[in-house]
A and B are shown apart, each in its own frame.
Chain A
């Protein structure tokens, strides 16, 4: 379970403090339920994901994680000058998997299906390839909740199918918190939804209801 308690966030900008991006988010996100995060561009979806993932901090309020939460897969975690393999090795090592490194790297390589690009620097990757690698990397570790910002949705159709299968296989042990703008993808991955609007979050038990609320707000 992840508890989000009265989370406020604003960033410092060159001209002092910026405006509030999040203003009082209260959520209880149960484990074992995949959740789609919906909202306009700039609604604070990525910010909230980063705060839930523990790599950014709320200006006010707090997040309690009672489960193993993955790092947010949004662009972070990959060093552009290193190859896919080097990034994979680094990620395995900092998670304490030195002993079974080879085996895990093999799993990541197989899952990402990057071919010879696995040994090329990440800066040469397309966004879809980066998404594949990021997804493969986080799936190589056992988390209770995986956090994905567009990453899962950025791959092509074959990869999305594969990612979905990986999640279906892991459905009893893991869930997903994801951001996506594609309704079909959200529906196929998630059961519940969070709708972000004006810095507040509304929890919907069913993803369809969250999508309906979102559609209503942009009309």
Chain B
């Protein structure tokens, strides 16, 4: 093609470089330090080349440069992971190609790779601000594409752009809302990142660390009545194995049998209050999700784990939104094995276990009484709730119960579970989040890592009862949230900057981000089906369709009329009528007018009528006079008989 050989202007390459620098910055989470340096070097070289106006590299030069770099990257595959390696190669392809581009035809591959690389940014970033930036990059790439195919001196016309936008935006939106969505077809490599949130192990100090983070954990909007604040215990993990110091998640949560178990719905009592809610969970690189009480209905893409926990099938690499329905009731016992598992004791902490045994003899087979006694114990003895507890040694529980007596929720929860097990009551520690910030204007609950919490579940005849020992020591933790519970000094430990105007701005932005997450990121197959159903149920469809049909018919009629008119313009029509009425047509080379004149001369009887016809014909055809055409038609109708007679005479002659 001729156009493909046109030279590219310099500013094209400069814009391309800008785009690549931004891509390079966006790709930072995927790049190792060595490759970061390498790309920086390549981009600097390109900038220098453009500044100095040096010619582009030849294909051969770039290949000799690329081969070792590619090898270098392939050697890092272990360290990088497949996804990161792919991103490396993509970026390398883009940067290397831009070093060789000189003519318009060569820019196409570069643009294609750019589009793909830009789309890959969304694997890391889904926040609204980043999404806007990435879409802006896509538009810049689109502009570069336009430049490849447009005349060199043409400029973008705002009016034209607006009309293009007006055309494409409804299409875009419509496709996003209505284009069929599929479940994941196959597993793609994902980002290897450290997981955030509660871990699979619960150390005496692990929650304190988590609480110092201001990061968002998840957001909830309630679809029916909001439950009482005291019930906002978001369960995420259940710890059942205890080694004397540290609690761990039992292996049964990670076993492959959980799918089989998930199919049976738990027995729930219909009298317990039902909560319907939607959760928008931030990416945690874990599979565990959050739920209230006993979930009774969940979307198909989630997995129900033992102990009524919810999980996703793959680690959360991006925000997901899911809707649940829960009964606020004790969780039923799954099997006798579960009971046995939660009675296991360790040899450590003799004092705590003796305390439990004493409680058991005091209240035999009365778990609720034992728990009450324990609560009373915590309240009567000088126990403190603090974010900075002293370090504990070997018999951590004994030390906490009888020496330091100050700790955070995990200390109280694990001590309680140990004492209850010693008293012969099956008990386990539950990790999750408590409460959250209710956003009144936006009507959603914001739960941050700061709200991480641990509590206990113990088994009674009706199931696993929730017991939160922290409530005995620091009831305001449950009612007000963590900030109110801590002293001023400790509060300073929480990275808090919510009070100034910047904090307010950040909060507003986070609300906007929430709307974005719910409507854009959270829009899934389920929502789409609902949308389709709602569209189908719309009662005015028939009206719309009928009126559309009527409009179409009307349009077709108008077009048909126009077509008929065009087909039969005056000359044609007049010709057809006259020749039909007279039974013959004039000989070739003879005009209709002169033919009529000769006819009039030959037939003196009809001379006047024929002369009149001729005049009307001439007016209709040569003067384009519609009135004359109508008159001609009337005249022909009036003279029908005499003309037919004339035709017969001519035939017989």
Query: Do A and B actually bind?
Result: no
B residues lining the A interface (CB < 8 Å): none
A residues lining the B interface (CB < 8 Å): none
